[in-house]
């Protein structure tokens, strides 16, 4: 399971999606674990999605392959010079890299 911080949940509220769709985190390409990439976008909900809720409402659907591959990770906000962005932190990763040229 992937956890999502409250700050990241707040940022996810700002993403627009067409009526009848949900915000999804899907794999870009399945089958290449050494180059596993994900995309965030609108799409149809699926029965095996990991569902992240806020205040009782679906906020984010995470595709099963993503949830399994990134199990134990955390989606959080990362401060950059351009402003906050969403990041995914592995449970095995060290601290976030510095983004201010330090």
CB atoms within 10 A of CB 49: 21
DSSP 3-state of 53: strand
pTM of the model as a whole: 0.82
> Confidence band (pLDDT; 50, 70, 90) for 51?
very high
Question: Collapsing DSSP states into helix, strand and coil, what is residue 24?
Answer: strand
- What is the CATH architecture of 3-89? Sandwich (2.60)
Q: E strands, 10-82, where?
A: 22-27, 38-43, 50-54, 57-62, 74-80
Distance (Å, whole) CA 45 – CA 42: 9
Q: Model confidence at 102, in pLDDT bands (50, 70, 90)?
A: very low
Domain boundaries, the chain: 3-89
């Amino acid at each position: 399971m992937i956890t999502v911080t409250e700050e990241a949940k707040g940022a996810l509220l700002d993403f627009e999606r067409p009526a009848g769709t949900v915000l999804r985190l899907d794999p870009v390409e399945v089958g290449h674990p050494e180059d596993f990439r994900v995309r965030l976008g609108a799409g149809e909900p699926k029965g095996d999605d990991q569902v992240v809720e806020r205040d009782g409402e679906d906020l984010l659907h995470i595709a099963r392959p993503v949830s399994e591959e990134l199990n134990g990770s955390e989606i959080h906000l990362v401060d950059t010079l351009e402003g906050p962005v969403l990041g995914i932190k592995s449970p095995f990763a060290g601290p976030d890299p510095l983004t201010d040229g330090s």
